[in-house]
């Protein structure tokens, strides 16, 4: 039987192995081959760490190949899993590749944190109201900043609801933060919105009212392993971002949102007065 060489250049752990089209086709060829026959003798890759960088993934794949009597060879590392020595070297290189990945992750995380401490914004796109300066730090973007100030004024001083604010912004044709980021070239790409560019959601307004960046506080480390962390676990950069909203106004907004939350979650049957919460805020204004 002739040897059919199949090279897979991308690291497999970027997605689940079975989700990768090339590997799925390779696996199907092996599984669907007639009994007693093999579609090819050997799977050859250019380099092991370009095939997969997690040892468990490497060993699982090689076990699958061994079950179907398919060889596995690394062209540039002289690794042949059909021999005992080759199997040992394969496992060893797998450990080294995984160690290298973890080391790179640690160095990247350390470099990222150092940059954040210097005030460099590391998010995909700067928050609404800001843009990146030449040094990577946030600077005020006037066209968006005036909308942020207006949102706080409507909520804190005019006592407008989130829904009313979102509706008003749409009525005056104010682009939503997602669209504004594209308009002001804060991020590349094209609009993916199904609604109009001036469609605002209540949650978008809420997110702006709750964002500490507008009082100069630059939080980071908000997620770990793809999961959101509690605010108490966030870290604060010693660098202060430009301030758009004064602390008193910001705290009033947080107090008002908290009161509104309590009102919405009162037990059924509780009597709610229309001015509940508003009077208190007027007293502290």
pLDDT tens digits, 122-134 = 777 899 999 998 8
Question: Which tokens in the block code for residue 137?
Answer: 């730090």
- R_g of the chain, CA atoms, integer Å: 28
Per-residue pLDDT for 229 more than 70?
Answer: yes
36: left (phi over 0), alpha (psi -120 to 50) or beta: left
Q: What angle do CA 29, 31, 32 make, to 5 degrees?
A: 65
Architecture label for domain 12-117: 3-Layer(aba) Sandwich (3.40)
DSSP string, 219-254: EE--EETTEEPPGGG-EE-SSPPPP-S-HHHHHHHH
Could you tell me whether strands 79-80 and 130-132 are parallel, antiparallel, or unpaired per DSSP bridges? unpaired
CATH code of the domain occupying 130-247: 3.90.1750
What CA–CA distance (Å, rounded) separates 33 from 268? 65
How far is 216 from 198, CA to CA, in rounded Å?
27
Q: Which residues of 77-89 are buried (b: 16+ CB within 10 A; e: fewer)?
A: bebbbeeeebbeb
- Every domain range in the chain assigned CATH 3.90.1750: 130-247
The answer to whether the pTM exceeds 0.75 is: no
Q: Band the pLDDT of 93: cuts 50, 70, 90.
A: low
Q: What is the mean pLDDT of residues 189-199?
A: 71
Residue 147's pLDDT band (cuts 50, 70, 90): very high
Domain with CATH 3.40.50.1390 in the chain: 12-117
pLDDT for 210 equals 94
> Is the per-residue pLDDT at 279 higher than 90?
no
State percent of the chain over pLDDT 70: 70
Helix%, strand%, coil% for the chain, nearest 5: 50, 10, 40
Query: Token pair 């002001």 is at which residue?
Result: 184
pLDDT of residue 23: 78
- Give the model's pLDDT for residue 44: 82
Residue 99, C-beta contacts closer than 8 angstroms, at least 6 positions apart:
none
pLDDT of res. 159? 93
Q: What is the pLDDT of residue 193?
A: 61
Residue-level length of the chain: 285
pLDDT at 2: 38
């Amino acid at each position: 039987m002739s040897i059919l060489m199949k090279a897979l250049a991308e690291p497999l752990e970027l997605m689940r192995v079975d989700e990768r089209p090339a590997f799925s086709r390779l696996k199907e060829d092996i599984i669907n081959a007639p009994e007693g026959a093999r579609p090819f003798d050997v799977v050859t890759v250019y380099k092991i760490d370009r095939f997969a960088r997690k040892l468990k993934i490497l060993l699982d794949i090689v076990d699958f190949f061994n079950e179907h009597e398919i060889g596995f060879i690394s062209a540039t590392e002289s690794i042949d899993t059909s021999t005992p020595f080759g199997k040992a070297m394969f496992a060893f290189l797998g450990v080294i590749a995984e160690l290298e990945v973890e080391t790179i992750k640690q160095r990247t995380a350390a470099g990222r944190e150092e940059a954040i401490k210097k005030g460099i914004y590391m998010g995909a796109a700067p928050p609404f109201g800001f843009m990146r300066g030449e040094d990577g730090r946030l600077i005020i973007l006037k066209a968006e900043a005036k909308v942020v100030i207006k949102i706080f004024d409507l909520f804190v001083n005019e006592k407008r609801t989130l829904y009313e604010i979102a509706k008003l912004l749409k009525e005056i044709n104010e682009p939503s933060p997602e669209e504004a980021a594209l308009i002001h070239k804060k991020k590349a790409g094209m609009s993916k919105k199904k609604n109009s560019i001036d469609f605002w959601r209540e949650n978008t307004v809420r997110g702006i009212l709750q964002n500490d960046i507008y009082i100069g506080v630059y939080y980071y480390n908000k997620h770990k392993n793809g999961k959101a962390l509690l605010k108490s676990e966030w870290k604060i950069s010693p660098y202060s971002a430009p301030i758009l909203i004064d602390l008193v106004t910001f705290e009033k907004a947080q107090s008002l949102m908290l009161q509104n939350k309590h009102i919405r979650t009162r037990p059924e049957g509780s009597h709610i007065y229309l001015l509940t919460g508003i009077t208190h805020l007027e007293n502290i204004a």
